[in-house]
Amino acid sequence: MAKPRGPKKQNGEAGATPAEAVAAIEASAFEAPQVSTRKPTPKPVIVKSDSRPNLIPINVEEEIRRLAYLLAERRGFEPGHETEDWLSAEREVQQRYHQHSA
């Protein structure tokens, strides 16, 4: 038994004449292609915020050490006041730091 040479019939084309089949193919060829209506997403942008541009990173312990030495020097390096000098220097540097960061 020989195989038919024509294209396979699809659903709904079982009783269609060749002219109707050609008309259906031509009608589908002129249909507008479906275009995606989704908008392309923009690329993410890196935003740099300079909220505190004049902030200079400091070593807090080094600042306390220098100020404590300055306080001891002003006192004439009298013995027995080392802890007092260190604590007052620590307090002053922390106040400065919090004042600038606010």
pLDDT at 80 over 70: yes
Q: What is the pTM of this model?
A: 0.43
* Pairwise pLDDT comparison (82 vs 100), residue with the higher score: 82
* Pairwise pLDDT comparison (93 vs 30), residue with the higher score: 93
Structure tokens at 92: 């002053």
Q: Given pLDDT bands bounded at 50, 70 and 90, which one contains residue 59?
A: confident
Give CA–CA dist 56/101, Å, rounded.
11
Structure tokens at 46: 């890196």
1-48 pLDDT, tens per residue? 666 676 665 555 455 677 776 676 666 655 555 666 777 777 777 776
Give CA–CA dist 24/7, Å, rounded.
14
